[in-house]
Amino acid sequence: MAKADMLGESLWDAYSNKVTTLMNNPQHQGELFEADVTGRGHQLIVADFGAESCGDAVRLYWEIDPANDMIVNSKFKSFGCGTAIASSDVMTELCIGKTVKEAVKITNIDVEKALRDTPDVPAVPPQKMHCSVMAYDVIKKAAGLYMGVDAGSFESEIIVCECARVSLGTLQEVIKLNDLKTVEQITDYTKAGGFCKSCIKPGGHEAREWYLVDILANTRKEMDEAKMKAAADAGSSGNFETMTLVQQIKAVDAVVDENVRQFLVMDGGNMEVIDIKKGDDYIDIYIRYLGACNGCASSATGTLYAIEATLKEKLSSKIRVLPI
């Protein structure tokens, strides 16, 4: 039967040739036996891991030379779909020749990339990325058994996106550093949510503890609160006139973010601070209107007055706002 007849041409094409080949002809499937391994002066480790999301399971065999912790041979058994077999086979191959500590550093992304035909084309459709995650998890299980520690000790952070192995801390930092505002931007920057998509929001194929939509909302809230605090601190200090230019721009941006920008954005516009110049009698703040605000009649009257009045109230009575 032709491939296209079995799965549908578009779905089948989402798998790399290497994946489809290893589905039917895995190179490392099999078992290692205690008597053979100990006869060579080595140690046998057998680790099992099952994925609750799909019911697949994998058993990993390591033959380890205790003299240098080197994995000299490895086999696997996989109970599940063809993608799980292909992922387990490549995972097993990647382990051979590495020390246990080196093997723990193998990620599911390494497994998926090793299954690609070309570097820039994913080897499997997004919903099958969990198969390579299972391979990553069984490595940790095997390493934990050998080293006498819990497998969880190899994971130092909360992992939000299992497919791309992106942690909560990384997501929060990237959102803040790059002022990200959408989940799509998060995916572009980190790859989180770009595969099976279960971590984006509730309702995916696998329930998650953390979702990108909530992390984005909470982080944006923290950022807004920090800006509000900065604005309040700047306004209460009474030292706007003596601030450096950079400090003044930050203080103005904080006040605008807290009190003005949301109303401009609601009407399809925005603004940015271009420059601030100190004089004897005035502190002139030069702004540029963006979007719908650019050319709007009220941008030179009501809107301008509201911006200036807010900045005077929060920062300094000497402020004049001049659009350019």
Determine which one of 54, 95, 161, 199 is catalytic.
54
What is the distance between the alpha carbons of residues 112 and 88, in angstroms, rounded to a whole number? 10
The amino acid that residue 59 corresponds to is R
The dihedral region occupied by 191, where left means phi > 0, alpha psi between -120 and 50, and beta the remainder, is: left
Length of the chain: 324
What is the distance between the alpha carbons of residues 85 and 9, in angstroms, rounded to a whole number? 21
Q: Is 131 assigned a catalytic role?
A: yes
β-pair partners for 71: 64
β-pair partners for 275: 286
Residues 25, 49, 157, 169, CA torsion sign:
positive
What is the distance between the alpha carbons of residues 202 and 194, in angstroms, rounded to a whole number? 15
Q: Is 54 assigned a catalytic role?
A: yes
Neighbours of 123 (CB within 10 A): 26
Determine which one of 95, 131, 163, 196 is catalytic.
131
> What is the set of active-site residues?
54, 131
